[in-house]
Structure 1
Amino acid sequence: MSYSGFSQDKFVIQNKKQSDKIKFKLINNLVVIPVEINGVTLSFILDTGVSKPIIFNFLNVADTLKIKDTEKIYLRGLGEGESVEALKSRNNIFKIGDAIKLNQDLYAVFNNKLNFASKLGIPVHGIIGFDLFRDLIIEINYSSGYLKLTVPEVFKYKSCKKCERFNLEFYNGKPYINAEVKIEERKIPVKLLIDSGGSDALWLFENDSLGIKSSNNFFVDFLGHGLSGSVYGKRSKVNAFFLKSFTLKNANVAFPDSTSVLFAKQIKNRNGSLSGNMLKRFDVVFDYQKAMVTLKKNRHFKEKFSHNKSGIELEHDGVRLVKEVNKNNITGKSIFENNEMENNNKIVINTQYKISLKPAYTIVELREDSPAKNAGLLIGDIILSVNNKQVHQYSLQQIMEMFYDDAGKKIKLKVDRNGKILTFYFQLQKLF
């Protein structure tokens, strides 16, 4: 393939339409897209909250990509831990659909704890954001599951009476939007980072002087992983969240611990983040060159905001051996005879079953005083079955969705605890 004539310092689309559509997977409210780097196809989270592409090198992906022109740096993100070590690499070839850039910088982070694959249940190798959004107009069609990339010079806005357009502000290459929240009957203006790389709906930084604070109806929970460690905080509700004419009532909100977001709060007047569980309720057009974002309600808009009613957080933790019925052998027996031996020995092999490698799902977080914790489950337990159905028949996301079901639903879990098989029962409990 000839790259002659292409710009070296930005993404260009190499087709006559100057536009391309890409299917994506929506996993836990995150957009996962295929990204080709130096000829190797990987899976990346599309993250408006990140400045440069980051590869999580837990599988030595950087070696496969043959990254070059590197220098050691340190990155800082959410969490209470220290900065993480990374290699900055220049002059990498990035290709997303028909969009290509020939000299893309990237960061390879060497930290085994930063493994999105285990948390999402599918291979995810990194995150990408600002450089792609800066060069192209990005349409995220959450309702149909595709991404549309268009060269700004050929993009045409359609008349849309049901849309709302917002001006964006940028700090360090990240987009901020102005919105309003209603807390204890008080309407409060807020400036929020648009963070498509977060799976929650809304994060707010508590500020008593502004009236941004949790109600008395909250619970303390694990909120997620940042570059610098785990993030914990309060989960609650706001009376309403407003994006101009769009109103979302009883929206989920998280108030992260101040120590976890100390670095993020340094951005002038930032009050929190607007993330995936809110964004997915719209089809979104990002136009960074005009500093504008367009929102249109989609089929997810009226979905109820739910929360984890079990207290369990799971991760994909390697594989385990599973005994399965072999559908290709009905009798289940294979007989071999040795007629040369006097006693005519027979060897009978039962082929009714086969042994397969299946994903293992392990409890990695357990909320205090939660139904699962009170039932006796422990961190490190490996889930074998949910309500009498083996877990390898589900994706990680499907299992977690069961824990967001209606309050009162009965859950039966069979687990492996250090080789001992145990069974636990509990009911999902609504906390607000």
Structure 2
Amino acid sequence: GNKTETISFAKIASLGIGSATLKDQYFAILPVRAGFSVAGGAPLDGLIGFEVLSRFTTTFDYAGKKLTLAMPGTNAPAPGADIIPFVFNNTIPQIPCQLDAVSANCSVDTGSRVAISVLTKFSTDHPSVVPSDASAVGVNGFGIGGPALGRVGRLASLQIGNTTLTNVIADFSAQNKGYFANPFIAGNIGGGVWRRFTVVFDYAKQTMALTPNADFSAAQPQDRSGLFLIEQAGVPVVLDARPNTPGAQAGLARGDAITTINKASTAGMDLQQIRTLFMGPAGTSIPLTVKSKDGQTRDVTLVLRDYL
């Protein structure tokens, strides 16, 4: 986002992750719950980064929903894995990539839900990568600095190592501040790509290994609502209804609280459950009860549609 946040540091006596314990670590103190957590889908208290991962060989088993921290030099990648060298951009892994056959560098972000966010400067310098039918500008994400704006569309191809993915649903950033305004990086590759693999990071060797998993050829999940939701006091609230999408056409607007979905209370639903519902088949009608900022309650029917 565009906002600037103050960071402080604290020394933590111990950090336990599974059976691993790290002692006397310095943590950056940030408003994580007011940033990533409100849009993340589940409560989030902290982010694990370089200072932890640099001490291990780390395996992200997306299909098995398991993270393994192993001592360096152990837990080798599977035979035949695609070994991709990376360099550190500060403490963030950066790899060679090709976006629509344009060679560039991309950052690796296991904390992002989307497949790839194409950064503003790269889109400006290479306008052909932005599809002509990309959506209107809306909220694409939410983090420590607040909402991040951009368009959504399909990137014709994304090449990473020996793998080429086609017709990739991508965010095209419109940010002129923050990380996504970085002029030296083409894209930020997230979990929407990595979930197709078992990924092994070896920070000591500066390599990542990709082994396709059972979801490698699965269709990319697609939002069909045009809504960006955040959680406030246990209730999903509309942060943005992208213009010319089903949510906007149903009359939903920023600040609307969704109190029921399919006649069931949203209390106890996490945002990921709701996102999954809003990725349902085109033509699906979803009845909602909505409470607007002025306290008025109304019924709305959201009809899902492909808008890309």
Fold shared, TM-score > 0.5 on shorter chain: yes
Measure, in 2, the Cα distance between the counterparts of 1:136 and 1:305: 31
Query: For each residue in 1:350-387, what CA deviation from the matched residue of structure 2 results, as whole angstroms up to 9, or x when unmatched?
Result: xxxxxxxxx32222222123222222223222222222
Contact 1:87 1:107 in 2 (8 A): yes
Residues 252, 305 of structure 1: 8 Å contact kept: yes
User: Residue in 1 aligned with 2:87?
Assistant: 169
Q: Could you tell me which of 139, 151, 166 is aligned with 2:59?
A: 139
The CA RMSD over aligned residues, in Å, is 2.2
**In the alignment, which residue of structure 1 is the partner of 2:110?**
196
Structure with more relative contact order (C-alpha pairs < 8 Å, separation 6 or more): 2
Check 1:156–1:80 CA distance in 2 against 1; reply closer, same or farther (3 A cut).
closer
Residue in structure 2 matching 1:305, options 215, 220, 223: 220
Task: Indicate if the aligned counterparts of 1:204 and 1:254 stay in contact, CA closer than 8 A.
Answer: yes
1:7-406 map, 5 Å: 79-81=1-3, 83-110=4-31, 113-114=34-35, 116-153=36-73, 155-157=74-76, 160-161=79-80, 163-182=81-100, 187-205=101-119, 206-210=122-126, 213-219=129-135, 220-261=137-178, 265-266=182-183, 269-318=184-233, 359-392=234-267, 394-406=269-281
Contact 1:232 1:260 in 2 (8 A): no
Q: What is the percentage of aligned positions where both structures have the same residue?
A: 23
1:315 Cα deviation after fit:
2.2
What residue is the counterpart of 1:413 in the other structure? 288
Give, in whole Å, the separation in 2 of the partners of 1:159 and 1:127. 27
- Equivalent residue, structure 1, for 2:305: 429
Answer yes or no: is the 8 Å Cα contact 1:310–1:372 preserved in 2: yes
Residue deviations 1:142-170, cap 9 Å, x none?
A: 000111111114x0525512x21100111
Q: In terms of mean alpha carbon deviation, does 385-394 or 298-307 score higher?
A: 385-394
How far did 1:127 drift? 0.8
1:213 positional shift = 3.5
Question: What letter is aligned with 1:108?
Answer: I
Q: Which residue of 2 aligns with 1:339?
A: none
Aligned equivalents of 2:72, 2:88: Cα separation in 1? 18
Equivalent residues of 1:284, 1:295 under 8 A apart: yes
- Helix, strand or coil: the match of 2:182? helix
Distance (whole Å) between structure 1 residues aligned to residue 31 and residue 263 of structure 2: 39
Do the aligned partners of residues 136 and 202 (structure 1) sit closer, same or farther apart at CA in structure 2, a change above 3 Å counting? Answer: same
Aligned mates of 1:271, 1:413 — CA distance in 2: 39
Distance 1:173 1:281 in 2: 24
Distance 1:137 1:429, change over 3 A: same
Q: TM-score normalised to the size of structure 1? A: 0.65
Contact 1:179 1:244 in 2 (8 A): yes
Q: Distance in 2 between matches of 1:260 and 1:110?
A: 19
The residue matched to 1:126 in structure 2 has which SS?
A: coil
Greater strand share, structure number: 1
Query: What is the distance in 2 between the residues matched to 1:216 and 1:309?
Result: 19
CA distance in 2, matches of 1:156, 1:424: 52
Q: Please give the alpha-carbon distance, in whole angstroms, between the structure 2 residues aligned to 1:379 and 1:211.
A: 30
C-alpha deviation, 1:254, in angstroms: 1.3
CA–CA distance in 2 between the matches of 1:94 and 1:281?
30
| Moved >6 Å (runs of 4+) | none
Q: Is the 8 A contact 1:188 1:211 kept in 2?
A: no
Alpha-carbon separation, structure 2, partners of 1:87 and 1:188: 39
C-alpha change, 1:290 and 1:362, in structure 2 (3 Å) is same
Q: In the superposition, relative to structure 1, how do residues 123 and 298 fare at CA in structure 2: closer, same or farther (>3 Å)?
A: same
Does the C-alpha gap of structure 1 residues 156 and 428 become closer, same or farther in structure 2, counting only changes over 3 Å?
closer
AA matched with 1:87: S
Relative distance call for 1:131 and 1:141 in structure 2 (3 A) is: same
Check 1:212–1:90 CA distance in 2 against 1; reply closer, same or farther (3 A cut): farther
Cα distance between partner residues in 1 of 2:300 and 2:268: 20
Q: Shift of residue 91 of structure 1?
A: 4.9
> Per-residue displacement from partner, 1:195-252 (whole Å, max 9, x unpaired)?
1111111111234545663121101221112332321011111112222332222111
Where 1:294 maps in the other structure, the secondary structure is: strand
| In 1: Cα distance, 2:75 partner to 2:219 partner | 34
Matched residue type, 2:300:
F
Q: Which runs of 5+ in 2 are unaligned?
A: none
TM-score normalised by the chain length of structure 2: 0.90
Q: Alpha carbons of 1:393 and 1:285: their partners in 2 closer, same or farther (altered >3 Å)?
A: same
3-state SS in 2 of match to 1:392: coil
Alpha carbons of structure 1 residues 137 and 386: separation in structure 2 relative to 1, 3 Å: same
